[in-house]
Chains A and B, each alone.
Chain A
Amino acid sequence: MLKTIAVSGLALLCFAGCSKKKDDTGGGSSVAPTKDDKTAPAEPTAAGGGLSLNASGSTFQKPYQEAAIEAFTKANPTVKINYGGGGSGKGRQDLADQVVDFAGADSPYKDADLAKNKGGDVLYFPVLLGAITLSYNLDGVDKLQLSPTTVAKIFQRDIKKWNDKEIAADNPDAKLPDAEIVVAHRSDGSGTTDNFTKYLDKAAKDAWKLKSGSTVEWPAETQAGNGNAGVAQIVKSTKGAIGYVDLSDAKASGLKYAQVKNQAGKFVEPTTDSASAAGDGIDVKDNLLFSALDPKGDAAYPITYQSWVIVYAKQTNPTKGAALKSYIKYLVTDGQAQLKPLDFAALPKSLADKAVAQLDKIQVQ
């Protein structure tokens, strides 16, 4: 008995030492051991009568993943799917390190990072579109229209009052109060911030100075909230506030949101339909990468963004690969009907067809 204690103590030492060794090779290019690490634990589960797919990434598409997983696993009871969230960056990193089977992300890998993906080439499957609203809290103003330049100036504090002449120019009929504007933004790094700032960088490039990214250097006299819900909460509880919030959270919090001027010069309200319309006016590359921001088309809501599921083209575990393929097929076909109740927009038909066609590129070995 005492011997086992001593041995397990030594084993513990070795465990710590070995994991250091593993960490050291982690930066290198040795693919084989990691592959073994990844596939090994999956086998017993498969033998146990079930199979589990693990994923992490975008919190934006998480509500859709949850609904889709429930429906899909009901029809395929042997498959278990976990979608962990954690942010697009985490999803991309986890997939690169092969700790998950697929990732959700609102923006693709950078070209420089692609070479670090341990499983080779990746495929992008667009799964949904969504609108980012400009939610506001202003008594007596039920309809607010904003042009991209005005939005840019509000968010970088060039415009500080609601009755500023530039806002008034967009809203000839509204009675704008002489009230201070309170800007609310995300405190956490976020794909929503990334896409919102990318939009301003594109549609208001002469006015917007803060560049784009998952976090940007917001002016000091602004307020930060955690998650879409956190920003929505600030807008809801602060008179004169405006913030960027995704459509479902804005609706859930009962916020008012502005109509935004699109490329065609029309003021469009964010809805699932106007976000879908945005999908019609975009250029899609062969690898199904695109940006739905600032699209063409009269009915398109301009601050519309997208989310992908990313997988490796080469699937080394046949049962897993097959399950993954059929789940992604569900996401881009039958699952699309679940999007509207969740306040997401479905992919336009042309894009969904391309996604289905791309399923053939998943090689199950």
Chain B
Amino acid sequence: MQLSELRGHKQYADRAFSVLAVAAAGVVLLVLGMIAITMTRRAWPAFGTEFFSSTRWSAAEGIFGALPFIWGTLYTAAIAIVIAVPISLGVALFVTQVAPPWLKTPMVYLMDLLAVVPSVVFGLWGVLVLANHFGLGRSFLTAGIILAVMIVPIITSLSREVIETTPASEKEAALALGATRWEMINASVLPHSKGGLVGAVMLGLGRAMGETIAAALVIGSAIGQITMNPFAPGNSMPAVIANEWGEADQPHKAALIALAVTLFVITIGVNLLATSIVQRSMKRSRGA
């Protein structure tokens, strides 16, 4: 085979690959844009001052205030983060810095296994065990705990990978200066991986806010509850959509789509924030 022939073939392959890559990237953007446009269009009639101010949600009267559900989403996600972050970081540090090698592999394996349990299984466990057996009832707290269990594996595995990128030289430098294990973690591991850890937590937060079926099962489906009491039944945006969609007529349907758009915007906002925090801290650590 001639060299030129070979080259021509290769250029052809390169071009095909780049077309394919651009197409794939384009599809992603297109789908995202389409979701935003079509959903907003259908939700448009429901958006109004009432949607973000009213605490009532009455299909019979056509009053749709999303505030209680926005509250429920943020509150349960906050409970989940408060519970999940210390556990996740603890596990990640234990696995990477403390655990002997024979324990490390099975622990990593188990955490990853937890991540693939379908959310409906967590939800049912929440209903049967937490709500009924332990008597927590269906409430913000029950939902928060279930969400925490669901996001621990995500935050843990991301944190573990971030922490493992800490250069051995930095850790050894700290140890050589006479640092204890905790001082070494505090002085070299945490500063090095701060950005990544924040990103991991934010991704967990995004998952917790969007979780639908497990939340729908355990949150209690109360209408119009805005309260700090964690034992009160509440409701979250994805849970309301899942529960009410099947029997909804207009304008109820438009209001549910408006909830979806709101959720979409909030989760995108959280992710953008996460990215910018990660980038800023990366820049800082590079500068230092």
Contacts and interface: CB of A to CB of B under 8 A. Distances in A.
Chain A bound to chain B? yes
Interface of A: 2-3, 5-6, 9-10, 12-13, 16-17, 19-20, 23, 86-90, 92, 110, 113, 187-191, 194, 210-218, 220, 222-224, 226, 237
A211 B58 contact: yes
B30 A113 contact: no
B220 A188 contact: no
Contacts of A20: 30, 34, 37-38
Contacts, number: 120
B172 interface: no
B19 interface: yes
B59 A2 contact: no
Interface in B41-60: 56-60
A302 to B, nearest CB: 21
Contacts of A188: 221, 242-244, 246-247
A162 to B, nearest CB: 20
A17 B59 contact: no
Contact of B27 (A13, A90, A213, A220): A13
Contacts of A194: 247
B57 A217 contact: yes
A257 B59 CA distance: 29
Given A6-B20, A20-B37, A223-B220, 20 more contacts: A2-B12, A2-B16, A9-B23, A10-B19, A13-B30, A19-B34, A20-B30, A20-B34, A87-B247, A89-B245, A89-B248, A113-B249, A187-B220, A188-B243, A211-B61, A216-B59, A217-B56, A217-B58, A220-B223, A224-B222
B34 A16 contact: yes
5 contacts: A10-B23, A88-B246, A89-B249, A89-B253, A224-B222
A3 B16 contact: yes
Interface of B: 12-13, 16, 19-20, 23-24, 26-27, 30-31, 34, 37-38, 56-61, 132, 137-138, 216-217, 220-225, 232-233, 242-250, 252-253
Contacts of A237: 132
B20 A9 contact: yes
A215 B246 contact: no
Contacts of A10: 19, 23
Nearest to A105: B247
B138 A224 contact: yes
Q: Which of B13, B16, B24, B225 has the most CB of A within 10 A?
A: B16
A92 B217 CA distance: 26
Contacts of A218: 222-223
Contacts of A110: 249
Contacts of A9: 19-20, 23-24
A89 B247 contact: yes
Contacts of A86: 246
A16 B58 contact: no
Given A2-B12, A9-B24, A189-B243, A223 B56 contact: no
Given A2-B12, A9-B19, A224 B132 contact: no
Q: Which of B38, B57, B222 has the most CB of A within 10 A?
A: B222
A226 B249 contact: no
Contact of B233 (A2, A90, A211, A220): A220
A114 B70 CA distance: 33
Contact of A2 (B13, B61, B242, B253): B13
A224 B221 contact: yes
Contacts of B19: 6, 9-10
A254 to B, nearest CB: 18
A10 B246 CA distance: 36
Contact of A223 (B31, B138, B243, B253): B138
A217 to B, nearest CB: 5
A191 B249 CA distance: 12
B252 to A, nearest CB: 8
Nearest to B14: A2
A224 B34 contact: no
Q: Which 10 A-B pairs have the closest CB atoms?
A: A87-B246, A187-B221, A189-B247, A211-B60, A214-B247, A9-B23, A224-B221, A189-B244, A2-B16, A89-B247
B23 A12 contact: yes
A187 B250 CA distance: 19
